[in-house]
Amino acid sequence: MLYNQIQEALQFIKTRITFTPDIGIILGTGLSTLSEDIEVHCEIPYKDIPYFPESTVQSHQSKLVFGTLSGQKVVAMAGRFHYYEGYTMKQVTFPVRVMKFLGIETIIISNASGSTNASIEAGDIVFVKDHINLQPENPLRGVNDERLGPRFPDMLHTYDKSLIAKGIQVAEEQKIKVHQCVYIGLQGPNLETPAEYNYLHTIGGDLVGMSTVPEVIVARHMDLAVMVISVVSNKCYPIEEITETTVEEVIKVVENSGANMRILVKNLLKKI
Where do the domains of the chain lie, and which CATH numbers do they carry? 2-271 (3.40.50.1580)
* Amino acid code (one letter) for 154: D
Distance CA 197, CA 181 (A): 16
What is the C-alpha separation between 4 and 148, in angstroms, rounded?
A: 11
Q: Give the residue from 76, 79, 74 showing the smallest Cα distance to 92.
A: 79
- Which pLDDT belongs to residue 35? 84
Q: Which regions of the chain does DSSP assign to beta strands (E)?
A: 23-27, 39-45, 63-69, 72-78, 106-115, 125-133, 178-185, 207-209, 225-235
Angle (CA) 80 17 44, round 5°? 35
What pLDDT shows up at residue 260? 92
Number of H helices, E strands in the chain: 6, 9
Question: pLDDT at position 59, please?
Answer: 56
In this prediction, the residues of the chain whose per-residue pLDDT falls under 70 are 30, 57-60
The verdict on whether omega for the bond into residue 45 sits within 30 degrees of 0, i.e. cis, is: no
Asked whether 171 and 264 are in contact (CB, 8 A), the reply is yes
> How many angstroms separate the Cα of 26 from the Cα of each of 23, 31, 95, 246?
10, 8, 10, 23
Q: Which of 205, 212, 154, 203 minimizes the C-alpha distance to 184? A: 205
Q: How far, in Å, CA of 19 to CA of 129, rounded?
A: 32
Given this model, what pLDDT does residue 150 score? 98
Confidence at residue 58, expressed as pLDDT on a 0 to 100 scale: 57
pTM of the model: 0.95
**Which residues lie across from 23 on neighbouring strands?**
74, 106
* pLDDT recorded at residue 248: 82
What is the C-alpha separation between 131 and 216, in angstroms, rounded? 10
Cβ partners under 8 Å of residue 41, min gap 6: 17, 18, 19, 66, 67, 68
Buried/exposed code over 227-243 (b: 16+ C-beta within 10 A; e: otherwise): bbbbbbbbbbbeeeebe
How far lies 96's CA from each of 13, 145, 221, 252, in Å? 14, 16, 10, 28
Neighbours of 20 (CB within 10 A): 12
